Amino acid sequence: MTDNQTDLIERFSAKYQHGQTELCQEIELNVFGCVYGATSWTNRVEADNVAKKFGLRPDTRLLDVGAGTGWPSIYWAEQTGCKSVCIDLPQEGLQVLRARAEKDGVSNNVITACANGAALPFGHGGFDAVFHSDVFC
Ligand SMILES: C[S@@+](CC[C@H](N)C(=O)[O-])C[C@H]1O[C@@H](n2cnc3c(N)ncnc32)[C@H](O)[C@@H]1O
């Protein structure tokens, strides 16, 4: 693992813990219109627009790179029935993601993997759409 990846994991692991506090959740609700522990700037209206542009539906296979705590893949799974593979490097976010997917009844739609978006461990043609929000930051 590179120093950059180690830094990234430390930085986002802390963010994903803070994101579970009452204060952060209240801020997120007021700014985004929903609470998923998000660390991007993708709000609910934008997520709805992306879902429409992608044409998400139950047979859509989506790859969410840098999925964090699962926003907006969990929301899309619940709204459209689509299936997502959510990858990220910090385990903290993926643990929150799995718990939320279970709570929302979409754990069969949302699979997580600890994987590097710069070296995807998937073959060609496995997904209908690829999404990321604020991953290049
Ligand atoms: C700003 S957060 C966005 C998280 C989530 N998509 C959201 O909208 O709340 C960016 C995420 O990208 C992840 N990330 C950055 N570089 C990555 C890489 N090379 N492979 C996988 N994940 C990466 C970070 O760990 C972080 O969880």
CATH code, domain carrying 24: 3.40.50.150
CB atoms within 10 A of CB 25: 14
Mean pLDDT across the stretch 27-55? 93
Ligand 1 site-directed mutation target among 34, 46, 89, 110, most atoms within 8 Å of CB: 89
CA distance 10 to 128: 31
Strand 110-114 relative to strand 129-131: parallel, antiparallel, unpaired?
A: unpaired
User: What is the pTM (predicted TM-score) of this model?
Assistant: 0.94
Q: How would residue 36 be classed by pLDDT, with cut points 50, 70 and 90?
A: very high
Type of residue numbered 50: V
pLDDT at 137: 73
Classify residue 137: in a domain, yes or no: no
Nearest-CA residue for atom 8 of ligand 1: 40
pLDDT at 32 over 90: no
How many domains, in total, are found in the chain? 1
- pLDDT per residue as tens digits for the range 100-131: 999 999 999 999 999 999 999 999 999 999 99
Q: Which residues have any ligand 1 atom within 6 Å of their CB?
A: 8, 12, 38-40, 42, 65-68, 71, 87-90, 93, 116-118, 133-135, 137
Which domain, by its residues, includes 32?
3-131
Report pLDDT for 88: 97
Residue 81 falls inside a structural domain: yes
Question: Which has more confidence, 72 or 41?
Answer: 72
Name residues whose C-beta falls within 8 Å of residue 71's C-beta, 6 or more positions apart in sequence: 34, 36, 37, 38, 40, 42, 47, 133
Mean pLDDT to the nearest integer, 12-39: 91
Q: 45-96: per-residue pLDDT in tens?
A: 999 999 999 999 999 999 999 999 999 999 999 999 999 999 999 999 999 9
Query: Which residue has the CA at smallest separation from atom 9 of ligand 1?
Result: 38
pLDDT at 136 (0 to 100): 85
- Residue 136 in any domain: the answer is no
The CA 69 to ligand 1 mean position distance, Å, reads 9
Would 49 be classed as within a structural domain?
yes
